[in-house]
Structure 1
Amino acid sequence: MEKHMTHSERHRSHRTGWLRAAVLGANDGIVSTASLVLGVATAGAGTRGMLVAGVAGLVAGAMSMAAGEYVSVSSQADTERADLARESKELAANPEQEHEELVMIYIRRGLDRPLASSVATQLMAHDALGAHGRDELGISDTLAARPVQAAFASAGTFAAGAALPLILVLVLPASALTWGLAAGSLCCLALLGWLAAGAGGAPVARSVLRVSFWGALAMASTAAVGALFGVSA
C-alpha cells in the first residue's frame, strides 16, 4: 500500500496582530509601573505611597492602552473597509482593467503572462474582491485589523505586566526595595522578551536585550527625576 506523506509547516504570521498588542501591553505595564514606583521611591515615598502610585498607574495605563489600541486599530480597519469598497466598485465598473492589474502583479512576481492571466482569471472567478484585496491591497483575513481583540489584549497584558512590580513592592524588604524592584522588573522584562521571541520565532538574545535596555533606561531616568525632586523638596 502506498503511503502518502503530508508535510505540515508551522508559520507564525497569523500571530502578529495579537502578539504585537500583547507584547506591547505587557512591556508597557512592567516598564511604566516599575519606573513610576521607582520614581516615587527615590523621592522619599513610603511603601503605601508606592503602592497607591503603582495601582493608579496600572488602572490608568490599562485604560489608556485599551483606548489607544482600539482607536488606532479601528482607524486601520476603517481604511481597509474603504479600500475594499472602492475596489468593489472598480471591479463592477471595469473588470477587464482589474484583471490586467492582477496579471501584472503576478508577472512582477515571476509568472509568465499566460500563466499569470490564467491564475488571475481563476482567482477572480472564485473571489474577485478577495484576490484583489490580498494581492493588490495587501489585506487578508490573517492580518486584518481587529480593534476589540487588540484593545482587550493590550489592556489585559498591561495589567498583568503592571502587577509584577507591585508584587515586588509587597514582598521585598524595605532595605532592598529600590534595587530589588529594579532588578526584579528587569528580570520580568527579560522573560517577556524570551517569551515573545519564542512565540514569534524571532532571535531570543536580540529580543531580550531590546526590552531590557529600554526598560533599564526608563527606570533609571524616572529614578533620577525622583531623586532630584526628593532632594529639592
Structure 2
Amino acid sequence: MSSGIKPTPQEARRWRRYLADERAEAQVYRSLAERKQGEEREILLGLAEAEKRHEAHWVELLGDEVGKPVSPGLRNRVLGVLARRFGSVFVLALAQSAESRTPYFADAAATPQMAADEMIHEEVLRGLAARGRAHMSGNFRAAVFGANDGLVSNLALVMGMAGTGAGSGVVLAAGIAGLLAGAMSMGAGEFISVRSARELLAASHPSADARAAVPELDLEENELTLVYRSRGMADAEARAKAHEVMSSVHGHPERHVPEGAMPTAAVDVDRDEAIGSAWGAASSSFCFFASGALIPILPFLFGMTGYSALLVAAVLVGLALMITGSVVGLLSGASPLRRALRQLVIGYGAAAITYVLGLAFGASGLVG
C-alpha cells in the first residue's frame, strides 16, 4: 500500500491508533533510557529508533488522513506513566508483554518486517529484564510464597475452625496463632533453604588452594587438563588451555598464575543471584507471610462475627490473591489476569475444602 491510496474511515482510525501506539512505545523506551547507563541505555534508544521507523510507515499510509494525534491504548498510557516515574523491571516486563501482542501479523497494512521487528523487540526486552529478574527472584520468590501461604493457610484455618462451630473468639485466637507459628516457620525454613543452597553452590566453586598449587605443577606432566575437562571443556580445548596456562606460569619470573587459569562457573554465579540471601529470603518470607495471614483475621479483629466476618475475610483474601497473582504475571511477562485467577482458584479451593472438613468433624453451624 502507498500514501496515494485513500484509506477507508475504519482503516484510518485503526492506523491512527497504531501510529499513536508506536509514538507512545518510543517514548517509553526513551524514558527508560534516561534512567540507564552504558549498553542498556544504547539498546533502549535503539528500540526507540526502531519504533520511529514504524511510525513513519503509518504516517506515509495515512497521508492527508493522519489528522490530529489520538490517544494510544490504555496499556501504553500506563507504561508511559510507569516508565517516567520508575523505570524498573516491572516496566520492562510490561513492555515485553506489549510487544508480544502485536496486531501486525494479522493486518495486511503492516509489513512482515514490522511484525518481525515487534517479536525481536520482545526478545530484546526479555534480555534486558532478565538480570533484574535474576537479582530479585530469590527474595521475590520468598515474598510471593510467604504472602500466598499466609493468605491461603490462615483463611483455610479460619474457615475450618468456623466450620466446626467454634465461637468467633476461638476463631480469632486460632488465626493469630496460625499467623505467628506460620511466620516463624516460614522465616526459619527459608533461611535454612537458602543457606543450604548457597553452601551447595559454594562447594562447586573453584578452590583457591588449587590455584595456589598451579605454579608447582610440572610443565609437561600435570592434571590441569583434567580440571578443565571436569568443567565441560572438550579434550582438545582443555589441552590447549592447560598448555597456554602452564607456559605462561613457567615463563613468568615469579611464576605468576594468569587470570582465568582456574575455570569459573558463570552459571553458578547466575544461580547464586537467583537464590538471593538467606537473611533477605527469611525476612521477606516472615514479613509477607505475617502480612498475608493478617488479612483473614482482620474482620474478627474489628469485632465482626459469624458468617459476615467469614464473607469479608474471603473477599479481602480474594483481592489480595489476585494482586499477588497479577504481580507475578507482570514480572514473568505472562497474562496478569490468568495468573490472578489461578491464585484465586487455588486459595478459595483450599479454604472451601477445610471449611467442609470443619463441618464434617465439628458442630453444626457457626455461632456468634
Q: Quick one: which of 201, 212, 224 aligns to 2:333?
A: 201
For the residues of structure 2 that align with 1:69 and 1:205, how far apart are their CA atoms? Answer: 28
Residues 164, 364 of structure 2: 8 Å contact kept? no
Q: Which runs of 5+ in 1 are unaligned?
A: 106-112
- Please, which moves more after superposition, 52-61 or 87-96? 87-96
Question: Residue 169 of structure 1 aligns with which residue?
Answer: 300
* Distance 1:189-1:97 versus aligned 2 partners, 3 A rule: same
Question: Residue 10 of structure 1 aligns with which residue?
Answer: 129
Percent identity between the two aligned chains? 32
Deviation at 1:208, TM superposition (A): 1.4
* Distance 1:144-1:132 versus aligned 2 partners, 3 A rule: farther
For the residues of structure 2 that align with 1:232 and 1:47, how far apart are their CA atoms? Answer: 14
Deviation at 1:90, TM superposition (A): 5.5
For the residues of structure 2 that align with 1:140 and 1:13, how far apart are their CA atoms? Answer: 8
Matches within 5 A, 1:208-223: 208-223=340-355
Residues 295, 313 of structure 2: 8 Å contact kept? no
Residues 187, 286 of structure 2: 8 Å contact kept? yes
Question: Residue 187 of structure 2 aligns with which residue?
Answer: 66
Task: Tell me the alpha carbon deviations over residues 20-67 of structure 1, each in whole angstroms, 9 at most, x when there is no partner.
Answer: 100000000001111111111121122211111111000000000011
Question: Residue 141 of structure 2 aligns with which residue?
Answer: 20
Q: Quick one: which of 186, 189, 192 aligns to 2:321?
A: 189
Q: Quick one: which of 133, 139, 147 aligns to 2:265?
A: 133
| Structure 2 residue 281 is matched with structure 1 residue 150 | yes
Residues 135, 276 of structure 2: 8 Å contact kept? no
Q: Quick one: which of 151, 161, 165 aligns to 1:40?
A: 161
Amino acid at match of 1:81: A
Residues 19, 196 of structure 1: 8 Å contact kept? no
- Please, what TM-score do these two structures have when normalized by structure 1? 0.77
* Distance 1:75-1:128 versus aligned 2 partners, 3 A rule: farther
Deviation at 1:128, TM superposition (A): 5.4
For the residues of structure 2 that align with 1:152 and 1:201, how far apart are their CA atoms? Answer: 26
Deviation at 1:146, TM superposition (A): 1.8
* Distance 1:97-1:203 versus aligned 2 partners, 3 A rule: farther
Question: Residue 80 of structure 2 aligns with which residue?
Answer: none
Deviation at 1:138, TM superposition (A): 6.0
The structure showing larger relative contact order (alpha-carbon pairs under 8 Å, at least 6 residues apart) is 1
Q: Between Structure 1 and Structure 2, whose CA radius of gyration is higher?
A: 2
Q: Quick one: which of 75, 87, 99 aligns to 2:196?
A: 75
Name the SS of the counterpart of 2:42 in structure 1. coil
Number of positions where the alignment pairs a residue of Structure 1 with one of Structure 2 = 217
Residues 43, 230 of structure 1: 8 Å contact kept? yes
For the residues of structure 1 that align with 2:341 and 2:187, how far apart are their CA atoms? Answer: 27
Residues 26, 157 of structure 1: 8 Å contact kept? yes
Residues 163, 364 of structure 2: 8 Å contact kept? no
More helix by share: 1
Residues 182, 289 of structure 2: 8 Å contact kept? yes
* Distance 1:65-1:126 versus aligned 2 partners, 3 A rule: same
Deviation at 1:196, TM superposition (A): 2.5
Matches within 5 A, 1:62-141: 62-85=183-206, 88=208, 92=213, 94-99=223-228, 104=233, 125-126=258-259, 132-135=264-267, 137=268, 139=270
For the residues of structure 1 that align with 2:188 and 2:273, how far apart are their CA atoms? Answer: 23
For the residues of structure 2 that align with 1:175 and 1:213, how far apart are their CA atoms? Answer: 21
For the residues of structure 1 that align with 2:362 and 2:228, how far apart are their CA atoms? Answer: 68
- Please, what TM-score do these two structures have when normalized by structure 2? 0.51
Amino acid at match of 1:10: A
Name the SS of the counterpart of 2:165 in structure 1. coil
Residues 29, 58 of structure 1: 8 Å contact kept? yes
Q: Which runs of 5+ in 2 are unaligned?
A: 1-38, 45-127, 215-222, 246-256
